[in-house]
Amino acid sequence: MKREATKLRLKKMLNDDKEEINEATRAAALSDFTRLAKEYFDTENVTLSIKKGKSATDVNVSFKASRVKNFATLK
Q: Which domain holds residue 54?
A: 2-68
pLDDT one digit per residue (tens) for the chain, 75 residues: 788 888 888 877 776 666 678 889 999 999 999 999 999 999 989 999 988 878 888 899 999 999 999 988 887
**Does residue 74 sit within a domain?**
no
**Does residue 49 sit within a domain?**
yes
- CA distance readout (Å), 32 to 9, 12, 15, 37, 38: 31, 28, 26, 9, 10
**Does residue 24 sit within a domain?**
yes
Structurally, the chain folds into a number of domains equal to: 1
**Does residue 7 sit within a domain?**
yes
pLDDT score, position 10: 81
**Does residue 75 sit within a domain?**
no
**Does residue 23 sit within a domain?**
yes
pLDDT score, position 19: 65
